[in-house]
Amino acid sequence: MREPVNRTILLLDIAGSSGRDDVVKAVLRRSLNAVVNQTVLAAGAEATQQYREDRGDGLIVLLDGNVAKTAVLRALLTTTPELLHEHNRLASAGSQMRLRIVLAAGEVTYDPHDGTVGGLVGHDLDRAFRLLDSDFLRNALTARAGEPCVLLVSGAVYDGVVRHGHRGVRPELFQRAPVAVKDSVLTGWLYSGNGTVQKTAGQDAGTSLGSAPAAAASATPALQRPAGAVFHFHGAPVVHGSIVGGDQHGVSGGHVTGDVILGGTVAGSEGSAGNAS
């Protein structure tokens, strides 16, 4: 068994592929590989700096440590959605492609055996796959029907890269999410592509929202005031058989004819009424 090495882990999965026929699946696989080709190229990764493994309806991409994670993130946030949009704009309804994407990092061992394909081993890789296959990420993609993909980064990628606000990476647009998996709860950070952080279906109500100010989650409630209109008179207002409602400011001069009703019912008490002539 070889020694483990640190790699950037990029996992992609095509949503809803199990319901497609084999011809469409083949087209989607080719399109996915084309999207990944251009994404890693935009990130500056050479062919010798990456390892890929076909998962049928998805891909494992391992990138060498010399490929900057900031560049990979920028490509995933810009190039990948643009390429998916171009594909979907020209594809038939049955050939539309939407992706769940996880970006993680950690130690991975390549342990191939004769007669088999693949051979990747690693705790960090296992955790990344659990994020990819989680109900949380599936629900996130379902909730964002107008977007071609959702991106979830691991805690290690957020702490090491995202939170520092490198060029093109805005930490306030990543939402912290506790992700329930088989035997534990993992921390991921969901990217909000529409420029605002929103709660995703199934997210715990107590989850913190990225780098947004904590005060936003506990905004001070508006001051309460009793029901009924509050009147401010400067001089004698003129009222001819009308009901005056709402705040009245700066009304001056004139003569009051008829009943003038001021205020309203407060905490069960009757409002005041006056009769002026």
- pLDDT at position 146, please? 87
Q: Is 163 exposed, middle or buried (0-12, 13-18, 19+ CB in 10 A)?
A: middle
* Domain range summary for the chain, segments of one domain joined by +: 5-218, 221-277
Return the pLDDT at 147: 93
Q: Are strands 174-180 and 185-191 parallel, antiparallel or unpaired?
A: antiparallel
Check residue 172 and report its DSSP letter.
G
Structure tokens at 241: 């058989």
Could you identify the residue written with the tokens 């001819």?
Answer: 240
**Thinking of the domain 5-218, which architecture would CATH place it in?**
2-Layer Sandwich (3.30)
pTM: 0.70
Positive or negative torsion for Cα 175, 102, 145, 169: positive
Q: Running along the chain, 277 residues long, what does each successive block of 10 average in pLDDT?
A: 92 92 93 96 96 91 96 97 95 93 96 85 95 96 93 97 96 95 93 59 40 37 46 54 50 54 49 45
Instruction: Note the pLDDT of residue 263.
Output: 52
**CA distances to 37, 68, 169 from 45, in Å:** 10, 9, 19
What pLDDT sits at residue 113?
86
**Spatial separation of the C-alpha atoms in residues 40 and 76, rounded to whole Å:** 9
Helix/strand/coil for 49: helix
pLDDT of residue 211: 37
Instruction: Give residue 216's pLDDT.
Output: 36
Residue of 17, 258, 251, 13 lying closest to 149 (CA atoms)? 13
